Amino acid sequence: MRQEKIWDADAAQRYDTPGTGMFVPGTLEPTVDRLAQLAGDGAALEFAIGTGRVAVPLAERGVPVTGVELSVPMVEQLRTKADEATIPVIIGDMATTVAPGTYSLVYLVYNTISNLLTQAEQVECFRNAARHLTPGGRFVIELWVPELRKLPPGQKATVWRTDSDYIGLDTYDVLRQHVVSHHFRYDETEQARLYRSPHRYIWPTELDLMAQLAGFELECRHGDWSGADFTAESRNHVSVYRVPTTP
């Protein structure tokens, strides 16, 4: 399953769901507030910008935003909302693609670092973020906490959401540290539509080590965008890494 195949024209068409899911104001507003605060007076670079779910409202706040994105159809969807002059996007892999300019903030949200399927690529992604940042600049990652505690020996799958029209389950390959998310959506005809995505899951401490390898220090970690404590029960985290001001 290559990322380009997953994020095709059909996925791009279906991605935006204004007002629901990841587009609910209660989800999006704290994200944009926090990113705007972290960008300060500088510019922001979004790795895997997608259809601009976060970049468009952040740019509307006055933060200059540039994007890197692998999928042309996702960027075409973004272009229905913002033109190239407003939000420039470089097509390429976030682990290696260099965008022009320097930034006070690079951000990579909605679990997307896990779309890189090897540890080496994930470390490269940190190095690529560092390459774009000014001293004191920040790299922000939003990621889920792997649900390994739900996986007794011999069991390979966990169900993480069940609604009347949706079932979400993950299948694990713990040797390779991979998980495939299976999203089953049911319509009125009772037919299920299946969408699957492969990920390499990362424990927060492994993420911190990747950051260290790229020269970052962990500034803070919270359980959500509003600054909730990160605890043993947190299902997600927002981690802020900083380039030291003195080497």
Ligand X SMILES: C[S@@+](CC[C@H](N)C(=O)[O-])C[C@H]1O[C@@H](n2cnc3c(N)ncnc32)[C@H](O)[C@@H]1O
In the complex, least distance from residue 39 CB atom to ligand X, rounded to whole angstroms? 16
Cα-flanking dihedrals φ and ψ of residue 96, to 5°? -135, -20
- Distance, CA of 198 to CA of 188 (rounded, Å): 28
DSSP annotation string for 98-121:
--SS-EEEEEE-TTGGGGS-SHHH
**Residues paired with 105 in a beta bridge:** 44, 138
Residues making contact with ligand X (CB under 6 A): 3, 7, 48-50, 53-54, 68-71, 74, 93-95, 109-110, 112, 115-116
In the complex, least distance from residue 149 CB atom to ligand X, rounded to whole angstroms? 24
In the complex, least distance from residue 120 CB atom to ligand X, rounded to whole angstroms? 13
Name the residue nearer to ligand X (CB basis): 151 or 198: 198
Name the residue nearer to ligand X (CB basis): 73 or 146: 73
Name the residue nearer to ligand X (CB basis): 39 or 94: 94
Of 143, 132, 138, the closest CA to residue 35 belongs to: 138
First to last CA, the chain: 40
DSSP annotation string for 216-244:
-EEEEEESSTT-PPP-TT-SEEEEEEE--
Residue nearest to ligand X (CB): 50
In the complex, least distance from residue 58 CB atom to ligand X, rounded to whole angstroms? 11
In the complex, least distance from residue 125 CB atom to ligand X, rounded to whole angstroms? 8
Name the residue nearer to ligand X (CB basis): 44 or 116: 116
Name the residue nearer to ligand X (CB basis): 43 or 109: 109
**């899951």: which residue's tokens?**
201
